[in-house]
Amino acid sequence: MYGENWLPAATTSADALLRPVPLLPPSTSGSVIHVLGGLSLTCQSVPVAVPPGSRRLLAYLAVHRGEVDRRSAAGVLWPSVGEDRAAGNLRSALWRLQRVGCPLVHLAQSALILDDDVRVDLHAVEAWAGRVVSGAATAADLAVDPGAIADVELLPGWYDDWALATGARLRLRLLHALDALSRLLRQAGRPLEAVEAVHVAVLAEPLRESGQRALIEAHQAAGDWVAARRQYDVFRGLLRREVGVEPSAELTAVATAPRPTLGRPPSPRPPPDGAMTAG
């Protein structure tokens, strides 16, 4: 039930991994549209079947925040038919959505918008990423499973241009958030967790230098300078093979910086003139 987990048991494995952190506040009221890991809908924490003819419209409204122009939505969702036919398809999809048993879409004369009580899992994950990247993360934000974040996928198997574009943008946003999460964990004195957070981002996109730098710095913060230098060497070899370039001078300087040494204890001060010395 919603009081225990932020996602229902029927959601996909990628979503289920996010359950330990309440990215969506627990609630038994309103509706939740899930677009991460696949499209699904819950009304008052009860799974509800989305009418087949309305699935793309519901997903489109969930992905696009705020008001959506009706004519534009019809043209995007039904591009292979004429304008009148597309408008008719849109009306049919809206009619079916209004019969699912819970309010979902607010209808205006020329625009559509999700009802105020409807929440979207995508928006919750984007809000988490925004807080982390801006440095405003809470303790709960730092506790997110980085592996679950790296596995998040928007509407897998959907090949609409708008879905692919939003998915690519989300993926890049989450990779940057994992870099930032690693930095925040280092600042909080949790270097091993910092290594884990950014390691999954590097595995997902190994050619991103910002992620590689965050991982190298996390290894250094954890005191594992051997692993830090090894990571740099691996990345350097990968760049040479795949792109034919060298790492930036800034990354090289970070990776090859000498390990700080503990300061030597101060030398004993010589005895004052005339003082007796032993022996």
Asked which of 155, 188, 221 is the last residue of a domain, the reply is 188
Tell whether 19 and 57 lie within a shared domain: yes
Q: Is residue 269 part of a domain?
A: no
Structural tokens at position 128: 């988490």
Tell whether 161 and 256 lie within a shared domain: no
Tell whether 183 and 193 lie within a shared domain: no
Q: Is residue 272 part of a domain?
A: no
Asked which of 134, 167, 188 is the last residue of a domain, the reply is 188
Tell whether 220 and 183 lie within a shared domain: no
Tell whether 46 and 102 lie within a shared domain: yes
d(CA 66, CA 62): 9
Tell whether 12 and 74 lie within a shared domain: yes
Tell whether 103 and 199 lie within a shared domain: no
Tell whether 157 and 228 lie within a shared domain: no
Tell whether 94 and 167 lie within a shared domain: yes
d(CA 57, CA 97): 9
Neighbours of 49 (CB within 10 A): 9
Tell whether 207 and 171 lie within a shared domain: no
Question: Which residue blocks in 42-160 are alpha helix, DSSP H?
Answer: 55-63, 70-77, 83-97, 121-134, 139-142, 146-151
Tell whether 50 and 79 lie within a shared domain: yes
d(CA 181, CA 215): 11
Tell me the CATH number at 209. 1.25.40.10
Q: How many domains are contained in the chain?
A: 2
Q: Is residue 275 part of a domain?
A: no
Tell whether 228 and 119 lie within a shared domain: no
Question: One digit per residue, pLDDT tens: the chain, 279 residues?
Answer: 222 222 222 333 333 333 333 466 555 568 999 999 999 999 988 999 999 999 999 999 999 988 999 999 999 999 999 999 999 999 999 999 999 989 999 988 899 999 999 999 999 999 999 999 999 999 999 999 999 898 899 999 999 999 999 999 999 999 999 999 999 999 999 999 999 999 999 999 999 999 999 999 999 999 999 999 999 999 999 999 999 999 999 999 999 999 887 555 555 555 555 544 443
Q: Is residue 266 part of a domain?
A: no
Q: Is residue 180 part of a domain?
A: yes
Q: Is residue 121 part of a domain?
A: yes
Each residue of 222-247: pLDDT tens digit? 999 999 999 999 999 999 999 999 99
Range of 93's domain? 1-188
Asked which of 169, 188, 207 is the last residue of a domain, the reply is 188
Q: Is residue 276 part of a domain?
A: no
Q: Is residue 92 part of a domain?
A: yes
